[in-house]
Structure 1
């Protein structure tokens, strides 16, 4: 991945360079707080002198500005008298550029090779990719890195294959490692089937047999394709099978693996002298099986429940071993059923998140204190009327406004002085120690200020505010989204439309969101979908419902049929309603500072996709009755 490091602030670029250069030199650089750096951004102390690292983030300014700045700091560098001086910069450098910088730096620089320009840093990133992953602000727009992270997460989510699956190893002879020559007990019912054709029936049948006390095995328990463990499965079949259940229909009997298992089962039947060793289970039309053609099959065609009753009776009559007092149902049946419920396809898939990326924030946050005595309650009332977000801390308050703006806004309350101005990265990582503000409290204060800016923005847009148990949601109002009206969204040439208000089962539903600000792994707003209901009384607003339990029941019934396309479309339409023709949503933090958010959700790419049904067109689903609530899911009018 190629970077120009423009996504990193100067402080973030310093942290990144310390990590990367430190890995290359195999040393650890000390880090220092913001302020005068005395010619160094990192130091590695040794007995015979210090290794000094200086970092210059001059990707916008270019080489001339970098050279001029180094010349200004030459005196400070000479005073340090380091054992070794290393310079890292985001500026692209030529060999001639490095020679000129070496002349400016003087004897502190031992070699031009200790000057790391843009291309040098990119080369080191290829050598140390873990440093790239450790700095999310660097790669937050890199689909390559995101794909790697998602791929690793998907790989970690699946079980890792072992030499032999434990459930199969337990059936093999001498599985305990005792080395005894005693023949193992024949206590297991083996199901011969074709994968994946018969998986659904097997996953239904096997747990029911285990519930009766039988021990059951089928190749799905290996959680791998059957051929992977073919030799071990055949060995277990030869030594542990008390009975073999053969699923019979055309598709199964055409499977070569099934024919191999039948041959082994017939050999075992001949060896132990059991002519009813194999019980065919008929699931459909199929040819006679050589060797068991005269065996009466148990019929599952007329119904699986009826067939199960016949099978259990046959197993009882033939005295197949069971432990009715120690029933144990293997959880792997259910695990495999869930795993196979949504098959994965080895194709990449574009995913739309519910995150809105923050693309612009102020550089600093300010702390103001009154010049003299002040009335805390009066200050609180005045801040509540102030049109921009603030947060009271101690005697003063936090704000993104400058001194002149504060003087004008709070003139009648008194004079306030700017006591501290702190960069946002430092504010989040360190808080403000001078006033006792810890990082966690600082982060909460910042999140609260962003929420306040969001609230003011939504109210100004005319959205309906609703206070939920854990947060505030804003919904489409009748004036912005009349009942049944479609809001168009999407790129030109690929326009879609979705409803934000409509009537279903006698209730007006209106879509909305709660915005949850976050600063990790990058600054963003996470949107949580909300649906609010009112009784349809013929008016545009409807009759408000004050009963939270009834509101919950309505969400469970009316929204139950909404598919992913509905939720996705409504979120996109909601954002289109907020932003209009603008690609960004601007939250005002002061008269001169804004927090700018992308109006389109962040996209990610998954390395795999799923075989989910996707039949109906996205717009057709808006009028599909199932998306407006299942008819049979009547909502009770009384409390549960």
Structure 2
């Protein structure tokens, strides 16, 4: 609509002018009270001068009156010396009118375009309709604008229901039709009955893994948020599209009324389908049987989620639950939802302590010795095993870091050996010795094995206890090195702290330890993997060993769950303190006169970002905090599992 601005008072016209020009120029104009305006109705001050705006509402007076008024304003304009002068008027302006006014206003007017008549103002109103709506007097008599405002209010008051979320809508859609146009609905959905938010973590872990196996998964975590009302639609998916229901079984979950409602629908649907195995219970903790499916054999996730997943996938396959034959697609919304509770990043750098020990010194060369005559392979292997330093059998000889004199003495019982090759260590790792059958990868593996052997020998020499894990050898502080409940001091002078390596919790003794693993990339280093070993507390310093790997695994998951990163970090540094003693380095002998030397302090890295998590525990609190003792189940509870 085109306005002549006759419905506005002079003050209203000034307000409108400030709003329109301010929006167009991206500046804010100051407003002044009614009365003498000293030549300005709006002002924007900047360092090098001011932008002055004058608004002349001369709709009824015409151009002659405007021209006369501007002649009187010239002195005020010159006195203000604005950087830029702007004029708005309700009087229609022709090009000749603008040229005339430009001569009157003087040099403060940079361009005739800085004079805006009603046509220019209407153009700005079309450009900024929100300003038009904010000036009620402007459109109070406009039927078009009034209709738009009323229509918007009615639409808002009678808002249509929001569209069904796409995840849910896709499952509600039928897959095809018959010749008589009746709908064919394929049951291909694996429906998770859960309680929010207590089951969200498990569902966000399980659902993507089932989708990776080709199954179509639904859980309300993707569609239902507080205030959402999709119960009818989710029930439709459960009744019409679901092939199997997975019921999460925890006491708190089963106490949820929504879970009970879904379970009732699932039981009814299973009866209608004649499928006695329609509901598959997933046991997440020891508990009571579920009413209505008491005879159903649950999939056990108590002993381990990975083990439970394997059993579940096997059950779905045996029961012929439909799965896609195409490449699996994992819904990205699982990950999006998981990240909703993520810790925000802060644009601040942070120093991070790694679990890497840098190798700062290594032998210059490695040597290959070959037998001078016929030797017995078993005798040579026995000599290698008895040799206190790392070496490796290779053909009719062996690889070692020892010099000739040391070899002559140490391997005398196996025969005589002569130095066949002496090669720089880095060249050997990177290239091997192909001419004697040692390719690059073989050479790299040989040195890795020798470094491990040196680490094992050093840890044993220091008195640490060896334990064979399924994926490596760990070493733990003994009761003599770290008495139960005693803190081991660590850290630099003036920043000393302490951490426990052994303690009692819920009838068990836990012992912290590490596995050292050598790596060559991106530089030579040992990576430390934290380990926790348990024994049954019987009042002695060491307790009774636990031989059941599954029980050890459950204890790690429960007891160590409460340990914070700061506590893991402290235990690792306390372990290194015992390992290195008073030295800043750890020397791993490779022969009688050579060694691999590690820095005893872990490598520090710098992160370009940090997190908003507060560090609320100080050095003394971290070992007295209840989370240090964890929350392991007692033996009776484990037996009930």
Q: TM-score, normalised by structure 1?
A: 0.50
Residue correspondence of structure 1 range 515-526 to structure 2 within 5 A? 515-526=516-527
Instruction: Give 5+ residue unaligned stretches, structure 1.
Output: 1-262, 281-304, 317-321
Asked if residue 277 in structure 1 is aligned to residue 194 in structure 2, the reply is no
Distance (whole Å) between structure 2 residues aligned to residue 499 and residue 444 of structure 1: 35
| Cα offset, 1:330, TM superposition | 7.3
Structure 2 CA distance for partners of 1:418 and 1:323, relative to 1, 3 Å: closer
How big is each residue's C-alpha offset from its partner over 1:112-159, in whole Å with a ceiling of 9 and x where there is no partner? xxxxxxxxxxxxxxxxxxxxxxxxxxxxxxxxxxxxxxxxxxxxxxxx
Distance (whole Å) between structure 2 residues aligned to residue 313 and residue 385 of structure 1: 73
| Cα offset, 1:627, TM superposition | 2.2
| Cα offset, 1:624, TM superposition | 1.2
| Cα offset, 1:494, TM superposition | 0.7
Question: In the comparison of the two structures, how many residue pairs are matched?
Answer: 347
Structure 1 contact 557–629 (Cα < 8 Å) conserved = yes
Distance (whole Å) between structure 1 residues aligned to residue 332 and residue 452 of structure 2: 45
Distance (whole Å) between structure 1 residues aligned to residue 367 and residue 330 of structure 2: 63
How big is each residue's C-alpha offset from its partner over 1:465-505, in whole Å with a ceiling of 9 and x where there is no partner? 00111211000001100001110001111111000000011
Structure 2 CA distance for partners of 1:436 and 1:498, relative to 1, 3 Å: same
| Cα offset, 1:581, TM superposition | 1.1
| Cα offset, 1:630, TM superposition | 2.3
Structure 2 CA distance for partners of 1:414 and 1:268, relative to 1, 3 Å: farther
Structure 2 CA distance for partners of 1:313 and 1:485, relative to 1, 3 Å: closer
Residue correspondence of structure 1 range 378-527 to structure 2 within 5 A? 378-527=379-528
Q: Could you say which residue in structure 1 is the equivalent of 2:78?
A: none
Q: Secondary structure at the match of 1:446?
A: helix
Structure 2 contact 507–634 (Cα < 8 Å) conserved = no
Asked if residue 312 in structure 1 is aligned to residue 229 in structure 2, the reply is yes
Q: Could you say which residue in structure 1 is the equivalent of 2:548?
A: 547
| Cα offset, 1:412, TM superposition | 2.9
Structure 1 contact 430–439 (Cα < 8 Å) conserved = yes
How big is each residue's C-alpha offset from its partner over 1:83-112, in whole Å with a ceiling of 9 and x where there is no partner? xxxxxxxxxxxxxxxxxxxxxxxxxxxxxx
Distance (whole Å) between structure 1 residues aligned to residue 485 and residue 444 of structure 2: 41
Distance (whole Å) between structure 2 residues aligned to residue 565 and residue 439 of structure 1: 40
Residue correspondence of structure 1 range 111-126 to structure 2 within 5 A? none
Distance (whole Å) between structure 2 residues aligned to residue 338 and residue 308 of structure 1: 15
How big is each residue's C-alpha offset from its partner over 1:589-633, in whole Å with a ceiling of 9 and x where there is no partner? 001100000001000000000122421223312111122112678
Distance (whole Å) between structure 2 residues aligned to residue 308 and residue 514 of structure 1: 44
Q: Could you say which residue in structure 2 is the equivalent of 1:532?
A: 533
Distance (whole Å) between structure 2 residues aligned to residue 374 and residue 416 of structure 1: 10
| Cα offset, 1:424, TM superposition | 1.2
Q: Secondary structure at the match of 2:522?
A: coil
Distance (whole Å) between structure 2 residues aligned to residue 314 and residue 510 of structure 1: 50
Instruction: Give 5+ residue unaligned stretches, structure 2.
Output: 1-144, 163-220, 243-328
Give the CA RMSD over aligned residues: 3.3
Q: Secondary structure at the match of 1:568?
A: helix
Q: Secondary structure at the match of 1:560?
A: helix
Distance (whole Å) between structure 2 residues aligned to residue 443 and residue 313 of structure 1: 59
Q: Secondary structure at the match of 2:562?
A: coil
Structure 2 CA distance for partners of 1:314 and 1:341, relative to 1, 3 Å: closer
Q: Secondary structure at the match of 1:442?
A: helix
Distance (whole Å) between structure 2 residues aligned to residue 269 and residue 552 of structure 1: 65
Distance (whole Å) between structure 2 residues aligned to residue 535 and residue 344 of structure 1: 42
Residue correspondence of structure 1 range 283-294 to structure 2 within 5 A? none
Distance (whole Å) between structure 1 residues aligned to residue 622 and residue 616 of structure 2: 10
Q: Could you say which residue in structure 2 is the equivalent of 1:93?
A: none
| Cα offset, 1:423, TM superposition | 0.8
| Cα offset, 1:413, TM superposition | 2.6
Distance (whole Å) between structure 1 residues aligned to residue 636 and residue 419 of structure 2: 58
Q: Could you say which residue in structure 1 is the equivalent of 2:629?
A: 628
How big is each residue's C-alpha offset from its partner over 1:577-597, in whole Å with a ceiling of 9 and x where there is no partner? 111110000000001100000
| Cα offset, 1:312, TM superposition | 2.6
Asked if residue 338 in structure 1 is aligned to residue 347 in structure 2, the reply is no
Structure 1 contact 431–442 (Cα < 8 Å) conserved = yes
Q: Which protein is bigger by CA-based radius of gyration?
A: 2
Distance (whole Å) between structure 2 residues aligned to residue 268 and residue 532 of structure 1: 72
Distance (whole Å) between structure 2 residues aligned to residue 635 and residue 521 of structure 1: 48
Structure 2 CA distance for partners of 1:419 and 1:501, relative to 1, 3 Å: same
Residue correspondence of structure 1 range 64-83 to structure 2 within 5 A? none
Distance (whole Å) between structure 1 residues aligned to residue 226 and residue 391 of structure 2: 71
Q: Secondary structure at the match of 1:312?
A: coil
| Cα offset, 1:271, TM superposition | 7.7
Structure 1 contact 549–639 (Cα < 8 Å) conserved = no
| Cα offset, 1:635, TM superposition | 7.5
Distance (whole Å) between structure 1 residues aligned to residue 571 and residue 335 of structure 2: 34
Distance (whole Å) between structure 1 residues aligned to residue 412 and residue 551 of structure 2: 49
| Cα offset, 1:411, TM superposition | 2.1
Distance (whole Å) between structure 2 residues aligned to residue 313 and residue 357 of structure 1: 56
Q: Secondary structure at the match of 1:392?
A: strand
Structure 2 contact 555–632 (Cα < 8 Å) conserved = no
Structure 2 contact 391–400 (Cα < 8 Å) conserved = yes
How big is each residue's C-alpha offset from its partner over 1:510-563, in whole Å with a ceiling of 9 and x where there is no partner? 000000001111000000000000000111111011110111011011111000
Q: Could you say which residue in structure 1 is the equivalent of 2:585?
A: 584
Distance (whole Å) between structure 2 residues aligned to residue 382 and residue 639 of structure 1: 52
Distance (whole Å) between structure 2 residues aligned to residue 533 and residue 422 of structure 1: 45
Distance (whole Å) between structure 1 residues aligned to residue 638 and residue 160 of structure 2: 57
Structure 2 CA distance for partners of 1:311 and 1:486, relative to 1, 3 Å: closer
Distance (whole Å) between structure 1 residues aligned to residue 640 and residue 423 of structure 2: 52
Q: Could you say which residue in structure 1 is the equivalent of 2:320?
A: none
Structure 2 CA distance for partners of 1:592 and 1:325, relative to 1, 3 Å: same
Q: Could you say which residue in structure 1 is the equivalent of 2:84?
A: none
Residue correspondence of structure 1 range 340-379 to structure 2 within 5 A? 341-379=342-380
Q: Secondary structure at the match of 2:157?
A: coil
Q: Could you say which residue in structure 2 is the equivalent of 1:90?
A: none
Residue correspondence of structure 1 range 561-640 to structure 2 within 5 A? 561-630=562-631, 636-638=637-639
Distance (whole Å) between structure 1 residues aligned to residue 239 and residue 357 of structure 2: 57
| Cα offset, 1:410, TM superposition | 1.7
| Cα offset, 1:408, TM superposition | 1.5
